[in-house]
Amino acid sequence: MSARPNSRSRIRLLAGGLLASAVLTMSVLAIFWTPLDPNRLDVLHRLNAPDVRNLFGTDEFGRDVLSRVMVGATTSLSVAMLTVIVAIAVGSTIGFLTGFFRGWTDRVVMILNDTLLAFPGILLALGLVAVTGPHAYATVLALAVAFTPKVMRVVRGTVLSLREREYIEASRAMGNGPLYTLARHIVPNAVAPIAVLATSMFGWAILMESALSFLGLGVPPPAATWGNMLATARPYLTSAPWLSVIPGILIATTLLSVNLLGDSLRDWLDPRM
């Protein structure tokens, strides 16, 4: 009975790790090499079904779908990575400082934070894109603004529970300054919840970026992303179904790997769950 959850956890970690490394390898490889030029138009080979030359077929402009999903992986993963880095950096800095020092700044920041949390994340992103216009960096900004309040809340909550512990009092009693206590004793203990959150946020970022791009409000063409490839595939659902199937498989694979890795991380950090 007790051996089973362990082996399940190991299978999850293994499967998640394999899928993640496959997607990661693909996206890194695409920086240096793709089978064909992802943006080269070839009217003679429009909407070709998958064959030896184009393993995943070609799109409505005769571009190689395999090469495009490869560069799409680079775009989607970089946008998601950047989003998570920005949201974690900004959100945890604010969360650590306000949670540790409290006071009226904390109250004001909390009110602002709760206001942002009152919007569904994707709606906040849509509203910001309405102001900035679609662009890769606008996507990062919009998603980071949507995610930061969540990070802030988790970090602040963790700090609030940690700062009442005895070892924090001990650190103060030893004459350590507040910033030293924060950096030396609180931050290291908040790393675990932040890591779990960062993993799930990476998945949300992939999903929301592809949704925004699918709506034509994320990364604009001709740059390839999985989302905007699916958007242009809709009219060719009958004549070229592979255009709708392949980018979706990649989004789903990436999300699955992130979810599996996230679950294993949670198991490892919080065995009670």
Partner 1 sequence: MIGFALKRILAAVPTILLVSIAVFLLIRSIPGDPAEIMLGEGADPASLAAFRAELGLDESMPVQFMRWAARVLHGDFGQSIFLHQPVAVLVWDRLQLSASIILVAVGIAAIIAVAAGLYAAWRQDRAGDIAVVTLATLGLSLPSFWIGLLLLLLFGIKLGWLPVVGYVAFSDDPGRAWQYLILPIVTLVVVEVGVLTRMARASAVEVLRLEYITHARAKGLSEWTVLFRHALPNAFAPTLTMVGIVVGSLLGGIAVVETVFTLPGLGRLIVEAIYARDYPVIQGCLLVIAVAYVLVNLVVDLLYPIFDPRIALE
| Interacting residue ranges for partner 1, rule: CB under 8 A | 1, 4-5, 8, 111, 114-116, 118-124, 126-131, 203, 207, 210-211, 214-217, 230-231, 233-234, 237-238, 241, 244-245, 247-248, 251-253, 255-256, 258-260, 263, 273
Task: Output 131 or 174, the one with its CB closest to partner 1.
Answer: 131
Of 176 and 253, nearer to partner 1 (C-beta) is 253
Which one, 14 or 191, has the nearer CB to partner 1? Answer: 14
Task: Supply the minimum distance, in Å, between the C-beta of residue 216 and partner 1.
Answer: 7
Cβ at position 43, least distance to partner 1 in Å: 25
Q: How far is the CB of 11 from partner 1 (least distance, A)?
A: 10
Cα–chain center distance at 204: 5
CB atoms within 10 A of CB 177: 11
Distance CA 267, CA 262 (A): 9
* Separation CA 11–CA 57 (nearest Å): 33
What is the closest distance, in whole angstroms, from the C-beta atom of residue 105 to partner 1 in the complex?
17
Given the complex with partner 1, which of 189 and 253 has the nearer CB atom? 253
Q: How far is the CB of 251 from partner 1 (least distance, A)?
A: 5
What are the two backbone dihedrals, phi and then psi, of residue 58, each rounded to the nearest 5 degrees? -125, 160
Environment class of 46 (CB within 10 Å of its CB; exposed 0-12, middle 13-18, buried 19+): middle
Q: Between residues 44 and 111, which has the closer beta carbon with respect to partner 1?
A: 111
Q: To the nearest whole angstrom, how small is the minimum distance from the Cβ of residue 44 to partner 1?
A: 26
Question: Distance between CA atoms of 65 and 189, rounded to whole angstroms?
Answer: 45
CB 202 within 8 A of CB 251: no
**Closer to partner 1 by Cβ: residue 110 or 223:** 110
Neighbours of 33 (CB within 10 A): 8
Q: Is 149 exposed, middle or buried (0-12, 13-18, 19+ CB in 10 A)?
A: buried
Give me the helices (H) in 47-120, please.
65-101, 103-117
- The CA distance from 94 to 194, in Å, is 13
Q: Which is nearer to partner 1, 13 or 245 (CB)?
A: 245
Closest approach of partner 1 to the CB of residue 234, in Å: 7
DSSP 186: I
